[in-house]
Every structure is written in C-alpha cells, then in structure tokens.
Structure 1
Amino acid sequence: MIFRLDERLLFPEPDLAEPDGLLAVGGDLSTNRLLLAYQNGIFPWYSDDSPILWYSPHERFVLYPQELKISKSMRQVLRSGRFRVTVDTCFADVIKACSTAPREGQDGTWITDDMQEAYIKLHNEGCAHSIEVWENDQLVGGLYGIQAGAVFCGESMFSRLSNASKTALIYLCQTNKFELIDCQVHTDHLKSMGARMISREQYVAILQNGLR
C-alpha cells in the first residue's frame, strides 16, 4: 500500500514500503518534512513530471568510513596535491553541477529545480553540506548530502576530471565526523571503495542511535 501524504508533518512506518522501496506520495519539500524523512530513513526521489515520491528501500547501500578502500593509484593522486578540497563554500554550484552531470542509463535528472531550492534551504539551516574539489580555481568535482545524526546521507556527486569525486568521498570519510555514509543506490564505483548493503533495520538503528 502506498500512502498519500497531506499537510500533516508525518510519515508511515518505513517497513510498510513497497518491494521497490516506494513508501508514500505527495506532501512537500519543506525543511521540516525533509529532516523528518531523513531522520527516519526516507528520502524523496522523483522527476519533474511526477508527484513527490518518498522511498525507504529494504536494503541500503552504505559505506562505513573505517572500511574505505583507497587504491594504490588513488593514493598517488592524493599525494600529488593536484586537487584542493573545501567544505560548504559553494553548495548551490555543487548541486547544480550534480543536476547536469550525465548519468549512464538516465535521461534528464531527478534533481529538479524544486529539489535544488529545497536543499539549498537545508544548507542555509546548517543541515545540508557540500564538499568541493578544485583544480587551481576551477570546480572539478564534489558531492552534497544531508546530515542526520551520525549518518551522512549522500545525495549526489559529480566529476569533471578523473578521480575528482573519489577525492571528495575520501575526504568525507577521513573527517571522522560520521559513523556511516548512506550511498543510497548501488554502483560498482562505490562498491570498489568499500560500500556494501545493509538492511533497513540496521540502517534505521544507526540513525536513531545517532539522533539520541
């Protein structure tokens, strides 16, 4: 059963989601609703031509920072000093770059204008963060996401030069601020860096422990 949200600030229990993870439809992208969603293992994912869809997958693709794998070639990139990394210096530019980055097997983007506006508001409230990777003065990669207790809910990343997004993710892991990084969707790229699947129950337990 897919639940329809109204103006009330609430969500159904995540374990009531459909097999594909779809839990609810409707509602809005207000700061309070988005924070409530992420704090309960729920996130919005939809396109311009559909209503707001809320998901809570049965399994979550995550990366424990202590399990991060850095290849020998990537270590050489990091040692070279080619890239400079900053945090929260141009959030809007990062989310815009993520929205226009080409994705294999995808036409268009799920990072709609409304989504960008909502997440920029979250950033202004100190709840969403970006990591930027620079070569000289050019923004060449980065990522953004939401902080929910001890979990960083990664939303998207982009790379205009080889290894730029990897540099951003490695920096995030090495800040020692988070117990878990939620990668949401499986990719071979993230798996090679140590990401793995855990159950929704495990994921929500880590979320709730970090919010106490």
Structure 2
Amino acid sequence: MIRLPLLDPASPERFPDPRHALAEPNGLLAFGGDLSPRRLLAAYERGIFPWFNPGEPILWWSPDPRCVFDTATLTANRSLRRALAGKGWRVSVDEAFVRVMHACAAPRPGQQGTWIGAAIIEAYASLHTQGHAHSVEVWEGDALVGGVYGVAVGRLFCGESMFSACSGGSKLALVALAAWLREWGFPLLDAQVSNPHLLSLGAREMPREDFLAQVRRLSAQPFDPAHWRKVASRDAGDYL
C-alpha cells in the first residue's frame, strides 16, 4: 500500500524532501494542496512538478533520473534545417501563451485524454500573467503550427509541454527557446521525464541528486522577466 504525504493547504511553500520520492511509480512524492502561483513556484524551486489527470487529486513528482537538455548543444540539425528551408515560418515569444497550452492539451494519435485540464491551464495562465511562465510560438501566416511552454525560476527553465500542428513545429519552438536561454545564461532546460522522443532530440538523463543541486544553484540566480517581453518576432531562419 502506497502512503503519500498530504500537503498542508495552509503551507504552500512546504514540500517533502524530493529525495524521498517513491521509486515506483518513479518520482511520486506527495498529493493534495493547490495550484496557486506561490505553491507552484515553491515546487519548481525544489525540483518538483505537478502531474495528474483531470478529476484526480493533485500529484507532485520528482523522478530519478531527470530528463534535461543542455541549452549549449540544443540547436537545429541538418534535417530540420532542410525540412524548414523556404517555409516562411516565424517565431514569437509570449504572443499566444494560452493558445499554446490549449494546443498542447489537444488529443494526439494513440493518446487517450490529456493531463492538461482546465485547472492546469488556469494555474499556468496566472503564472504567465505574473511573468513566471512563458511560451514560444511558431507561425505559418496566422496559423499556430508549433509551440512549447514552461516555467522560469531564476536561470532554470522547466519545460512543461510542446506540440506540432505541422511537422517540425515543436522542434523549431524548442530550438528557438534554447537559443534565448543560452543567450540569457540558462544552461539547462528541464524536460522532466525522459522518453525516446526527447532523447532523440538531444535530451539526456541526469541523476536526481545532481539535478537537485543544479536547481538549488540556478533558481537562486536572479533574472529579470522583462527580457521575455523584449523578444521580437523573428523569421524561423534566424534559428536554423
């Protein structure tokens, strides 16, 4: 029988030590609490994130190992450059945050339902309004063809989800995000739980203990969120 700590609603910044998360299911740490901005930021600053299906209790996770991208090496490969050459796409930042979330929540082939329910969208939209959550969008004319969103804490970016409506859309969004993170001194892009697709894009697995040390270091480094608001829309070719 699994026994999990129940989070105290009156203590939004209190979490169990993520090193005590379960081995099976990998990383399950606690349940309950809420999705207030204060609690979400406290979670990300400790290497913890929420992940649950709509209608279920809020579940909090810190898996071992952790899936991460090194922003220094996350660049467009030859096949992506070839595939997107001449498409005329453009890339923007924080132009359509909620639209990206809804696109990420849309059903995908072979997938039943989504964990990005109304409560998650409302919570992260609040984080976005406060300057903590951000999105990168890929456009073909007025059509949104790809995107990625996540949460910035200090100089760590915690990716949440990405989508493609056209082949290459999510890859371009990820490459563009990494380009800005590199420029701003963000060495890691957290991808949470590894899967073959993320690993094929260049992600790697990091032991949780090492990841938590990086979280403590990077989340304590100040970063002005105004930088996100200053990013102008660019042609896709600028990132290829």
Task: Give the TM-score taking structure 2 as reference length.
Answer: 0.84
Say yes or no: does 1:111 pair with 2:116: yes
Distance in 1 separating the partners of 2:86 and 2:195: 27
Q: 2:30 aligns with which of 15, 24, 29?
A: 24
Q: Does the 8 Å contact 2:76/2:172 carry over to 1?
A: no
CA change 1:144–1:101 in 2 (3 A) is farther
For 1:104-143, what per-residue CA distance to the aligned partner results, in whole angstroms no more than 9, with x for missing partners? Answer: 4x31000010010000000000000000000111111101
Q: Secondary structure at the match of 2:57?
A: coil
| Cα separation, partners in 2 of 1:103 and 1:115, compared to 1, 3 Å | farther
1:73 matched to 2:75? The reply is no
Does 1:209 pair with 2:214?
Answer: no
Alignment-derived partner of residue 131 in structure 1:
136
Secondary structure of residue in 1 paired with 2:6: strand
RMSD: 1.4
Q: Quick one: which amino acid aligns to residue 58 of structure 2?
A: I
Runs of 4+ in 1 over 6 A off after TM superposition: none
Deviations 1:183-206 (A, max 9, x none): 112232221221010011111111
Displacement after TM superposition at 1:78 (Å):
4.8
Query: Which residue of structure 1 lines up, in the alignment, with residue 201 of structure 2?
Result: 193
SS class of match (1:66): coil
Following TM superposition, by how much is the alpha carbon of 1:93 offset from its aligned partner in structure 2, in angstroms?
A: 0.5
**In structure 2, which of residues 152, 161, 173 is the aligned counterpart of residue 156 of structure 1?**
161
Normalised to the residue count of structure 1, the TM-score between the two structures is 0.94
8 Å contact from structure 2 (residues 66, 205) kept in 1: yes
Deviation at 1:103, TM superposition (A): 5.4
CA contact (8 A) 1:150 1:207 kept: no
Q: Which amino acid aligns with 1:12?
A: P
Number of equivalenced pairs: 211
| Aligned counterparts of 1:48 and 1:136: Cα–Cα separation in 2 | 33
Q: Does 1:120 align with 2:122?
A: no
Amino acid in structure 1 at the alignment position of 2:210: Q
Higher alpha-carbon deviation: 64-73 or 86-95: 64-73
Deviates more, 1:81-90 or 1:185-194: 185-194
Q: Percent identity?
A: 47
- Segment drifting more, 23-32 vs 61-70: 61-70
* Unmatched tracts of structure 1, length 5 or more: none
Cα separation, 2, equivalents of 1:3 and 1:95: 29
Following TM superposition, by how much is the alpha carbon of 1:76 offset from its aligned partner in structure 2, in angstroms? 2.3
- Cα distance 1:197–1:6, how it changes in 2: closer, same or farther (>3 A)? same
Aligned counterparts of 2:153 and 2:136: Cα–Cα separation in 1: 17
Task: Confirm or deny: 8 A CA contact 1:25 1:51 kept in the other structure.
Answer: yes
